[in-house]
């Protein structure tokens, strides 16, 4: 039965006529009628890689015909483990429950494993949580941002990634983004001979005995080069463009502090992940020495990690991965917390957030007064085919499409055309960056 017909019969009984059900007054007329209870009838875990990146998307189905929600549970390095956590553990736990009790389902999913607060289980909870918000939006015939308090901006300002083998290449790439309308650009440059995060061109060598193809990384040449890159970019591009940079935690904490100080004259929009999550005790030392704005958080798992940094005003941007920390429920609470401490949002948004996760980021960004910036990507044709309704990028802004829920769908048949790769099971560069002496580098 068509969903519209089902709603009509459920809300009004058999006396309603077909003609009435198709009239424009149909929706307002059922607004005050009591709809029948909803139940979760199925949970599907969809693994797909339309852009070559392993995505994990959750589809929660209900007893209302055609009413389902989508969420992002992507943990690209451990996709099969998240799939198991959903299929074997959370799916049987949530079947038959009311999908509109989002908070209660979040809390009960969270403690259902007794041990909690980690990735994998966090991704599984996130995927289901976002799908529930999508369901409530669709049932209310409203975009999710409306349920979060409504738009406080028309679109979400974004940044893109510029990288190159040398300063000139990076500069040219930044210029391209500026010409496309972007106001914020992250800049990374290759360090010759080293496997540099975020920049192609330096692959490192293969000479560490006893290791199979390690990727070579040394922090000193990197921290010497990056301030020179930004000196170059400011000279060539002026002060108007907002420039960002990601350290990706790869340097000893004291070198990260030196780097943040050395970058101060170039007025970055933010410096990202100067320390690993294990070194967050260094933030208070960093803060005392430099006013370079700091973004942190894509590797955080739970509020105990970011709460002290926010409450002590030690960071300027929170960058948690919504598909990991507990979905929209946890992200919206975090955004509200940050508002009172002057911390802005910059949700994690590279290729290992699915288009569904990006849509959720955009909806929250539209309704968050302390929104800062959104990491963005241009979705490939294959991604747009698999996920009709991807947020649109125009003039450097992400726009939501204003359809109910997150406004994004998944074509399950097309998703199957892009199976995830299991051999190797993840990008083996992770866990394989090493110093010249063979010791491991984070991350």
Point out which residues bind Mg ion (CB under 5 A).
246
- CA 62 – CA 41 distance, rounded (Å): 5
Long-range (24+ apart) CB contacts under 8 A made by 279-282 are 279/249, 279/253, 280/305, 280/308, 280/309, 282/253, 282/256, 282/257
197 in active site? yes
Parallel, antiparallel, or unpaired for β 184-189 and 156-164?
A: parallel
> Which two structure tokens, joined as six digits, stand for 211?
């290791």
The b-or-e profile of 171-187 (16+ CB within 10 A means b, else e) is bebbbebbeeebbbbbb
Query: 67 vs 263, which CB is nearer to Mg ion?
Result: 263
User: From the CB of 97, what's the least distance to Mg ion, in Å?
Assistant: 35
DSSP bridge pairs for 242: 184
User: From the CB of 273, what's the least distance to Mg ion, in Å?
Assistant: 5
User: From the CB of 244, what's the least distance to Mg ion, in Å?
Assistant: 10
2 in active site? no
> Which two structure tokens, joined as six digits, stand for 286?
């960093």
Length of the chain equals: 443
Place of tokens 């949700």: 347
For the chain, what is the total number of helices (H) and then of strands (E)? 18, 15
Closest residue (Cβ) to Mg ion? 246
Query: 246 vs 409, which CB is nearer to Mg ion?
Result: 246
User: From the CB of 426, what's the least distance to Mg ion, in Å?
Assistant: 17
**Three-class SS of residue 370?**
coil
Identified catalytic residue from 232, 245, 248, 348: 248
Query: 171 vs 246, which CB is nearer to Mg ion?
Result: 246
User: From the CB of 93, what's the least distance to Mg ion, in Å?
Assistant: 32
User: From the CB of 375, what's the least distance to Mg ion, in Å?
Assistant: 8
Parallel, antiparallel, or unpaired for β 156-164 and 374-375?
A: parallel
Dihedral angle of Cα 289, 294, 299, 300, to the nearest 10 degrees:
80
The DSSP string of 282-306 is: GHHHHHHH----EEE-TT--SHHHH
Beta carbons within 10 angstroms of residue 269's beta carbon: 23
Cβ-contact 243, 269 below 8 angstroms: yes
Identified catalytic residue from 197, 222, 398, 433: 197
- CA 309 – CA 92 distance, rounded (Å): 37
Beta carbons within 10 angstroms of residue 276's beta carbon: 18
Residue of 57, 51, 59, 61 whose CA lies nearest to 72: 57
User: From the CB of 295, what's the least distance to Mg ion, in Å?
Assistant: 8
Kindly list the catalytic residues: 197, 248
């Amino acid at each position: 039965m068509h969903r519209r017909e089902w709603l009509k019969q459920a809300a009004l009984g058999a006396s309603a006529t077909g003609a009435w059900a198709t009239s424009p007054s149909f929706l307002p007329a059922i607004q005050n009628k009591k709809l029948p209870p909803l139940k979760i009838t199925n949970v599907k875990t969809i693994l797909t890689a339309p852009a070559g990146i392993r995505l994990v998307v959750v589809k929660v189905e209900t007893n209302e015909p055609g009413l389902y929600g989508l969420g992002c549970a992507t943990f690209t390095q451990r996709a099969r483990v998240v799939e198991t956590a959903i299929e074997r553990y959370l799916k049987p736990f949530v079947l038959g429950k009311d999908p509109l009790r989002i908070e209660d389902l979040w809390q009960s999913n969270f403690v259902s494993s007794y041990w909690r607060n980690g990735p994998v289980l966090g991704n599984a909870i996130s995927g289901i949580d976002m799908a529930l918000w999508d369901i409530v939006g669709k049932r209310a015939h409203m975009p999710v941002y409306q349920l979060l308090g409504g738009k406080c901006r028309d679109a979400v300002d974004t940044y893109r990634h510029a990288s190159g083998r040398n300063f000139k290449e990076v500069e040219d790439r930044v210029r391209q983004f500026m010409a496309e309308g972007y106001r914020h650009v992250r800049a990374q440059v290759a360090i010759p001979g080293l496997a540099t995060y975020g920049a192609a061109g330096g692959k490192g060598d293969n000479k560490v005995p006893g290791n199979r193809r390690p990727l070579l990384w040394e922090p000193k040449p990197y921290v010497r080069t990056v301030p020179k890159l930004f000196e170059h970019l400011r000279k060539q591009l002026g002060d108007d463009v907002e420039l960002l940079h990601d350290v990706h935690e790869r340097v000893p904490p004291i070198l990260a502090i030196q780097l943040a100080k050395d970058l101060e004259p170039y007025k970055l929009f933010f410096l990202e992940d100067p320390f690993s999550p294990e070194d967050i005790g260094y933030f208070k030392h960093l803060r005392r020495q430099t006013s370079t704005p700091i973004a942190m958080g894509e590797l955080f798992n739970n509020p105990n990690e970011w709460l002290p940094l926010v409450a002590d005003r030690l960071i300027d941007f929170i960058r948690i991965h919504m598909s990991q920390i507990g979905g929209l429920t946890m992200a919206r609470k975090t955004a509200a917390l940050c508002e009172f401490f002057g911390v802005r949002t910059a949700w994690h948004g590279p290729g290992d957030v699915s288009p569904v996760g990006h849509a959720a980021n955009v909806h929250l960004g539209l309704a968050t007064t302390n929104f800062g910036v959104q990491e963005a990507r241009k979705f490939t044709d294959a991604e747009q085919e698999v996920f009709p309704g991807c947020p649109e990028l125009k003039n450097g802004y992400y726009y939501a499409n204003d359809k109910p829920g997150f406004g994004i769908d998944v074509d399950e048949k097309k998703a199957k055309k892009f199976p995830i790769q299991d051999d190797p099971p993840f990008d083996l560069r992770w866990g394989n960056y090493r110093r010249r002496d063979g010791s491991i580098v984070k991350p």
